[in-house]
Amino acid sequence: MSKATVNTLAQLIAVTAISSARLNEYYNEALVELAGTTEVNIQVETTPIVSGTDKYTYNSIAGNADMVQVLTVFNDDGFELLQTNLTQLDSQGRAWRTDTGSPTAWFLQHEQERQVRLYPIPDANGTMTLFVKDKEDAVPAWLDLPLAFAILKREFMRSSAQHDPIMAELCEQAGAIFRGIGGSP
């Protein structure tokens, strides 16, 4: 099935609407989480960060860059960098292009060239870990409900009007039940 199907399922089950940006974030997080226990094929690539360099090329999986999707990026401290885009950064003014510090965000500079760009420009050496997935490696249909419940668990855990730890726990349990029915441990 598709990401759109899973996001639609999550929206139908949710009490109130979840923004598409948040749905995408939760979906990617859930895929990374489920990769260790299911047949979802996620590659992990560790890349050195060089002080003063903000553009990095990733090399994983297929020979065709159009076939790869970056799910998330972590720094060497295990901190997940936020995914952003040029429009969001440009809304802060042009100064962001020269800001330096410890990277807190990433975006795809040129997807065709497999380039991830870090923000701000790193001011120290380190490493980053990218989690990438082959776009053609479809998520099995039986994972639709577990993924939808994983998305909802995250939404109910978030500090918001629909914060509900009990519902988050129920969603986590429902996801585990459906993973078991689908054939994953």
pLDDT, tens digit (0-9, with 9 covering 90-100), for 14-60: 877 888 888 888 888 888 777 666 666 677 888 899 999 999 887 65
If you average pLDDT over residues 157-179, what whole number do you get?
Answer: 88
pLDDT, tens digit (0-9, with 9 covering 90-100), for 148-160: 999 999 999 988 7
Q: What are phi and psi of 90, to 5 degrees?
A: -65, -25
Nearest to 62 by CA among 75, 76, 43, 49: 43
Average pLDDT in the chain: 82
* Tokens 């999707």 found at: 69
What is the structure's pLDDT at 138?
Answer: 62
Residue 66 has pLDDT above 70, yes or no: no
What is the structure's pLDDT at 62?
Answer: 47
Residue 169 has pLDDT above 90, yes or no: yes
What is the structure's pLDDT at 185?
Answer: 43
DSSP 96: G
Classify residue 2 as exposed, middle or buried by CB count within 10 Å of its CB (0-12, 13-18, 19+): exposed
